[in-house]
Amino acid sequence: MISKTLALATLAAILVPVSATSAKQPAPLMLTALVEQVSGNSADVEFMDYVGIGQTIKLGPQDSLTLSYLKSCAHETITGGTVLIGSDQSEVQGGKVSRTKVACNGGNIKLSAQQANASGASAFRLQSAAFNPSVFAVSPVVQIPKLTAGESRKLVIEPAKGRGQRVEIEMAESLASGGFYDLATAKKRLTRGVIYTATLGSHKVTFKVDANAKSGKAPIISRLLQFQPG
């Protein structure tokens, strides 16, 4: 027979309320799109958030949202309405959507477990280990990984093969915990058709600037450069 003490302990465990934090955890999503721009306060998403299949985003009549799909390279600008995130594009009700295809590493964007968990989803990796990414603009957006204490904050981008522009930038201390650095904003350009190696602390990635890379601020999905997730 179960003792009275044990029975009470079991009952107490059953009756322990779910914490507010755990109650708010969303169900795992397969992340499929990147938020490149958002205006208004109704969307409940932010710049450079990853969003996933089945996620619903509600926009006010004058609010707008720009999404880029990681696999299909669909680039959408949506104004107003309700947005349902799909695998390759959004379903929009009560709003307007303008959709184009842009150059990107379709199906090869990689999210680390940390990035995925920050978006309320399970780890989602599309990129194979042997894949060397390309950027389709001469001024990439570099996704800065979290750096450990004492790790160098100097970003160095130099030609691995061929002759090309070398870039060396000291990252602000505020980026040591991760973030994004836009070479277009800093007016830094790389050379078309050249293979580069980027290093930052212990992080390294080899990539190619496409021969037809655009100038200026092309869609972020076309020029997003990520270091190998840990």
Q: How many whole angstroms separate alpha carbon 210 and alpha carbon 28? A: 35
Of the given ranges (3-17, 51-65, 66-80), which has the lowest mean pLDDT?
Answer: 3-17
Q: What is the mean pLDDT of residues 130-144?
A: 86
Task: Share the mean pLDDT of the chain.
Answer: 80
Looking at this protein, which amino acid is placed at residue 158? E
pTM for the structure as a whole: 0.74
Which sequence spans correspond to the domains of the chain?
A: 27-129, 132-226
* The total number of residues written for the chain in this structure: 230
- Alpha carbon distance, N-terminus to C-terminus of the chain: 51
pLDDT at position 44 is 86
Helix residue spans in 38-82 (DSSP H): none
pLDDT bucket at 4, cuts 50 / 70 / 90: very low
pLDDT bucket at 95, cuts 50 / 70 / 90: very high
Distances (CA, A) of 39 to 51, 119, 222: 16, 19, 21
Q: Cα torsion at 213, 214, 220, 226 (round to 10°)?
A: 30
Query: 36, 48, 44: which is closest to 60 by C-alpha?
Result: 44
pLDDT at position 21 is 38
pLDDT at position 86 is 95
pLDDT at position 20 is 39
Q: Find out whether 222 and 136 touch, Cβ atoms under 8 Å.
A: yes
pLDDT at position 164 is 86
What percent of the chain has pLDDT above 90?
57
